[in-house]
Amino acid sequence: MKILLDAEQIRTGVARLARQVAVDYAGRSPALIGVLTGSLVFLADLMRQIDLPLRIGLVQARSYRGAATRPGTLELHLDLLPEIAGQDVLLVDDIFDTGHTLDALVSQLRLQQPRSLRSAVLLRKQGRQAVKLEPDYVGFEVPDVFVVGYGLDYQDAYRHLPYVAQLDEAELRD
């Protein structure tokens, strides 16, 4: 496994994003909506560093199944979404790959008529974007490789790692 972002780099990047979010939402109480399950670690660290009153909610989006390393059919589950009509909303996700997940979630959340809607991603994978939407906040750019750690998984493993790493081909088959 090759480490792409160590724990200190991630801490620094999340702190930078939190400062920017706090400035942009000054005087407001945004709702942070985390995308399960990959964003949990990022969401937890980000919300603890934003010095504003926050509301927290969750949605689920799945496009990877089993040993897949490329996205499949996207499934969205909005059952845990709090009331966001008239609210400032920041959608928080782990990775912006093709962008289909974020694009679909933004479309669904807009139907709820929030006052404002922005998005934050920990990672933006280079060269994979397939939609016009751009995240409003990006922690780090990473190459087009399969990454795990800091909430991201492969077959439900590796989420606990305090860093982001690239799995090599042998690890993807195991």
The single residue of 97, 136, 144, 156 carrying the catalytic annotation is 97
- Verify whether residue 97 is a known catalytic residue: yes
**DSSP 8-state code for residue 72:** -
Predicted pLDDT at 128:
86
- Out of 3-7, 66-70, 116-120, which region has the weakest mean confidence (pLDDT)? 66-70
Per the listing, tokens 């994979």 go with 128
**DSSP 8-state code for residue 50:** -
Q: Does the pLDDT of residue 110 top 80, yes or no?
A: yes
Question: Is 69 within 8 Å of 172 (Cβ atoms)?
Answer: yes
Question: Is 162 within 8 Å of 7 (Cβ atoms)?
Answer: yes
Predicted pLDDT at 168:
83
Q: What structural domains does the chain harbor? A: 2-173 (3.40.50.2020)
Average pLDDT over the chain, rounded to an integer: 91
Predicted pLDDT at 115:
98
Predicted pLDDT at 62:
75
How far is it, in rounded angstroms, from Cα 139 to Cα 112? 27
Per-residue pLDDT tens digits for 33-78: 999 989 999 999 999 999 999 999 999 987 655 555 555 677 777 7
Main-chain phi, psi angles of 32, to 5 degrees: -90, 125
Q: How sure is the predictor about 169, in pLDDT bands with cuts at 50, 70 and 90?
A: confident
Per-residue pLDDT tens digits for 120-155: 999 999 998 999 999 999 999 999 999 999 999 998
Q: Is the dihedral of CA 91, 109, 79, 128 positive or negative?
A: negative
Per-residue pLDDT tens digits for 91-108: 999 999 999 999 999 999
- Residue 158: CB atoms within 10 A of its CB come to 19
Cα–Cα separations (whole angstroms), residue 148 to 43, 110, 131 = 16, 30, 23
pTM beyond cutoff 0.85: yes
